[in-house]
Amino acid sequence: MSLLIFGTTSFDTIETPCGTATRVLGGSAMHACFAASHFTPTRLVSIVGNDFPDDWRWELQTRDVDLRGLPTCELVKTQFWRGRYHDNWHDREHLEVDLDVFEHFDPVLPDEYRTSEYVLLGQHDPMFQLRVLQQLQRPKWVMVDTIDYWIINRRTVLNRVLERVDGLFVNDAEARLLTGEFNLVRAAQRLLTFGPKCVIVKKGEHGSMLATNDELFLLPAFPVADLVDPTGAGDAFAGAMMGYLSRHPNEIRRAMAMGSVVASFAVEGFGLERLKTITRLTTDERMSEYDAMRFVG
């Protein structure tokens, strides 16, 4: 089943309690594509600037990522973000950002992409997310991710997106911001009234929760002892989950577990460093370990 991933492509300079990485590839689309590529070929929709190197195109192509939806804007540079994580690994400061590339962006899907059945709308301006949605012919399962900035500044458009998707990814703070409910069970129930049939609350090291009108599913996170960089962990979770789901449409819980396993690798290196090195075998081995860690008997 075909998977389309939409989102940002970015060069990130990241300071964590572990060290600093300079201009490493990131962005919601990149983290999700690398994560999804362990399970299925992916159709990428994003934009890069005149500084995007061929090496990375090659890296993506060897992972069966279709780049026909990745235009290059020759006038400007690729998105850039510089940020610093505090000692608690959770709070972070945005130190510098260059978003010029999006002034030239209109996400037009290549014809072949329009019939995509599984779609991940990674975090980005909801205007763009809506534009992608409008070009899809008959998707089977669309999930959208968002962040606080869009919730605060683009709420009306975001609401239109939410009415049209099957599922929503949020973290705990975003769930609270969207609903005004502090309690996450209540917040998730409330989010279901906005349109999506399922809500996945990503709580980082504390795991994730799936809520539908019929069920709650609780998943602790795979525990990571060697945390290096949390950037993109949520995107890797979403990408791996959607990659797995596109192959196993009835296994949403197992797909989330796969998301947790792949995210646990993602945070063990800066940028895509660690995700680049893992194989399907590595993820399956960690999944067995993870299953044993959750088994109650």
Residues near its own copies (CB under 8 A) are: 17, 87-89, 182-186, 189, 203, 205-207, 209, 215-221, 223-225, 227, 251, 253-254, 257, 291-297
Q: Which is nearer to its own copies, 97 or 218 (CB)?
A: 218
- Minimum distance from residue 296 beta carbon to its own copies (Å): 5
Q: Which is nearer to its own copies, 183 or 193 (CB)?
A: 183
Strand order in the sheet with 79-85: 19-26, 10-16, 79-85, 92-98
Q: Which is nearer to its own copies, 107 or 259 (CB)?
A: 259
- Minimum distance from residue 92 beta carbon to its own copies (Å): 15
Q: Which is nearer to its own copies, 102 or 217 (CB)?
A: 217
- Minimum distance from residue 284 beta carbon to its own copies (Å): 14
Distance CA 133, CA 114 (A): 9
Q: Which is nearer to its own copies, 103 or 295 (CB)?
A: 295
Q: How many residues does the chain have?
A: 297
Instruction: Answer yes or no: are the C-beta atoms of 147 and 170 closer than 8 Å.
Output: no
Distance CA 41, CA 36 (A): 8
- Minimum distance from residue 181 beta carbon to its own copies (Å): 10
- Minimum distance from residue 170 beta carbon to its own copies (Å): 16
SS3 category, 149: helix
Helix, strand, coil proportions of the chain in percent (round to 5)? 40, 25, 35
Q: DSSP assignment, residue 222?
A: P
Tokens of 27: 């962005």
Contacts of 156 (CB under 8 A, 6+ apart): none
